[in-house]
Amino acid sequence: MHLADVVPFIFLLLLVGCSARPLYPLPSRRNDKSKQPIQTFRPFNIAHRGSNGEIPEETAAAYRRAIEEGADFIETDILASKDGVLICFHDVTLDDITDIAEHKEFASRKRTYEVQGVNVTGYFVVDFTLQELKSLRVKQRYPFRDQQYNGKFSIITFEEFISIALDAPRVVGIYPEMKNPVFINQRVKWSGGKRFEDKFVETLKKYGYKGSYLSKQWLKQPAFIQSFAPTSLVYVSNQTDLPKIFLIDDVTMPTQDTNQSYWEITSDSYLDFIKDYVVGIGPWKDTVIPVANNYLQTPTDLVARAHARDLQVHPYTYRNENQFLHFNFSEDPYNEYNYWINKVEVDGLFTDFTGSLHNFQEWTSPLSPDDEDASKLLKKIALMISEFSKT
């Protein structure tokens, strides 16, 4: 091979490597064996509903942004449409983060249902077909966040979410939640007596998600299954060996299916029971460390007791805005990350701001401590060119 044949190729490599916008080859064109594997040596960066601090939650754009920003896992909530299609959406009602109020054709769809023991009125996801849900547009949940993307993106399906992860240029895990399974099973029916949980696991299997935590299969396509409903986690444990996370709500909230109190489900005896079905817990962070007057109080021993049982701890949710940062952290999200990772020693963090957590971890525990800078890369290219010129 001559230098004249090599230079255009090297130039193309430089364009791809130095471009601010990553290029995404088609799935059929990519050699999956060359994908950068998921890291397992530091706490997981879990993109809570995508990078929703920047882009409206649970949208394709929010998930793609999270991948660009370095997420280890993209997290989603799974509900079901009236016609039984699994979708990515957090609330059982559409009122807060879609433009449903602008769709006069749906004005008669408002209902009141009991959800986790409380009567809720609104436009419920389960009363709309997938086609109808796709006609809606999503908006930012919080008014103090960027509103420029409101109305630009639609609701996506579970399968579309999975495709985003599988099409990523590196291995990116998924972290789906079986959301409100009791309510969904009451309102949506599938043929053959199947349950919401059955359809959920079927979808994961369809796309090749399998294997216990850190197994060869799991590392190829990492996934955690999460739920606030312990009976759902126990049920799916008979269908898949994928690792499961038991979510824990605020101390005042009982479990939605067994009506157990927070104090019971965090007791030693219950952790001993649930550890046979899950690899970890996902507690609301203010239940791990109580808060008073926006100051952290004395930490509980929940993390220590979970770790003593080889259970991981993935608290939620870390947000960068001042109103979410306790005074202990001087309005600095990096101080908060440092505290939870290095003092509390959690194993993963659900964050609305994937990029900031990734930056913190790259500064403090980089993926490649000896990663070459631009000058070293240029030296390698020069060496390659000189070697080719001799042939």
**Cα(361)–Cα(44) distance, rounded to whole angstroms?**
10
**Cα(7)–Cα(386) distance, rounded to whole angstroms?**
11
Cβ 317 vs Cβ 350: under 8 Å: yes
DSSP states along 351-369: ES-HHHHHHHHHHHS-S-T
pLDDT at 383: 57
Q: Which of 2-11, 189-198, 212-221, 375-384 has the lowest mean pLDDT?
A: 2-11
**Cα(285)–Cα(194) distance, rounded to whole angstroms?**
34
DSSP states along 92-115: SBSTTTB-GGG-GGGGGG-EEEEE
Q: Which residue has the tokens 């038991």?
A: 246
Q: Which of 28, 70, 30 is nearest to 47 (CA)?
A: 70
Q: Which of 314, 316, 248 is nearest to 279 (CA)?
A: 314
How sure is the predictor about 32, in pLDDT bands with cuts at 50, 70 and 90?
low
Condensed to tens digits (0 to 9), the pLDDT of residues 72-89 reads 999 999 999 999 999 999
User: Which residue type does 19 have?
Assistant: S
- 3 state DSSP class of 277: coil
How sure is the predictor about 271, in pLDDT bands with cuts at 50, 70 and 90?
very high
Question: Which residues is 177 bridged to in the sheet?
Answer: 77, 226
- pLDDT greater than 70 at residue 16: no
**Cα(12)–Cα(1) distance, rounded to whole angstroms?**
17
Q: Which of 157, 160, 161 is nearest to 125 (CA)?
A: 157
pLDDT at 390: 53
Condensed to tens digits (0 to 9), the pLDDT of residues 46-82 reads 999 999 999 999 999 999 999 999 999 999 999 999 9
- pLDDT greater than 70 at residue 15: no
pLDDT at 22: 36
Q: Which of 3-7, 128-132, 362-366 has the lowest mean pLDDT?
A: 3-7
pLDDT at 6: 44
With a CB cutoff of 8 Å and minimum separation 6, the contacts of 254 are 260, 261, 262
How sure is the predictor about 386, in pLDDT bands with cuts at 50, 70 and 90?
low
Q: DSSP strand E in the chain: where?
A: 44-47, 73-80, 86-88, 111-115, 118-122, 173-178, 225-227, 244-248, 280-283, 291-292, 295-296, 312-313, 348-351
Mean per-residue pLDDT of the chain: 90
How sure is the predictor about 34, in pLDDT bands with cuts at 50, 70 and 90?
confident
* Angle CA 251–242–281, to nearest 5: 15
